[in-house]
Amino acid sequence: MNKDFEVTPYKVTGEIDYDVLVERFGTKKIDSDLLDRLKKHGPLHPMLRRGIFYSHRDLEWILDEYDKGNKYSLYTGRGPSGPIHLGHLMPWAFAKYLQDTFKVKMWFQLTDDEKFMFYDHLTLEETKKWGYENALDIIALGFDQKLTRLFLDTEYIKTMYPTAIKAAKKITFSTIRAVFGFDNSNNIGSIFFTSIQTVPCFLESMEQGKKVPCLIPCGIDQDPHFRITRDIAEGLGYYKPALIHAKLMPSLAGSEKMSTSTKMDTTIFTVDDKKTVKKKIANAFTGGRVSVEEQKKLGGNPDICSVHQYNTYFFEPDDAKLEKLYSDCKAGRIMCGECKNLLFEKVWKFLEEHQRKREKAKDVVEDFFIRD
Ligand code: TRP
- Which DSSP state fits 103? T
The three-class DSSP label of residue 190 is helix
8 A C-beta contact, residue 241 and residue 230: yes
Q: Which protein residue's CA is at the shortest distance from atom 3 of ligand 1?
A: 79
Predicted confidence at residue 183, as pLDDT, reads 92
The confidence score (pLDDT) of residue 265 equals 78
Ligand 1: residue of 12, 222, 227 to mutate (most ligand atoms within 8 A of CB) is: 222
Q: How far is the CA of 198 from the centre of ligand 1 (A)?
A: 10
pLDDT of residue 198: 98
Ligand 1: residues whose CB is within 6 Å? 9, 75-79, 109, 111, 114, 197, 216, 218, 222
Gap from CA of 76 to ligand 1 centroid (Å): 6
Q: Which residues pair with 8 in a beta bridge?
A: 11
Looking at residue 249, its pLDDT comes to: 80
The parts of the chain modelled with pLDDT lower than 70 are 1-3, 254-264
User: Hey, which of 78, 85, 193 would you mutate to test ligand 1's pocket, going by the most ligand atoms within 8 Å of its Cβ?
Assistant: 78
Report the distance separating Cα 9 and Cα 312, nearest Å: 24
Helix (H) or strand (E) holding 56: strand 53-57
CA of 341 to the centre of ligand 1 (A): 33
CA-to-CA dists, residue 357 to 9, 132, 175, 350, angstroms: 30, 15, 43, 11
Strands (E), 210-352: 214-219, 242-246
CA of 241 to the centre of ligand 1 (A): 14
CA separation for the pair 151, 350 (Å, rounded): 26
Supply the residue whose CA is at minimum distance from atom 11 of ligand 1: 77
Residue nearest ligand 1's atom 9 by CA: 77
Q: For residue 91, which atom of ligand 1 is closest to its CA?
A: 13
The pLDDT value recorded for residue 252 is 73
Strand partners, 150: 108, 369
User: Angle at CA 200, nearest 5°, toward 198 and 202?
Assistant: 90
Q: What is the pLDDT at residue 368?
A: 98
Write the residue with the smallest CA distance to atom 7 of ligand 1: 77
What are the respective helix, strand and coil percentages of the chain, to the nearest 5?
60, 10, 30
Rounded to two decimals, what is the model's pTM?
Answer: 0.95
66 alpha carbon – ligand 1 mean position (Å): 24
| Strands 11-13 and 6-8, bridge-based pairing | antiparallel
- pLDDT for 3: 66
CA 110 / ligand 1 centre spacing (Å) = 8
What pLDDT is stored for residue 181 in this prediction?
94
Query: 9 CA distance to ligand 1 centroid (A)?
Result: 9
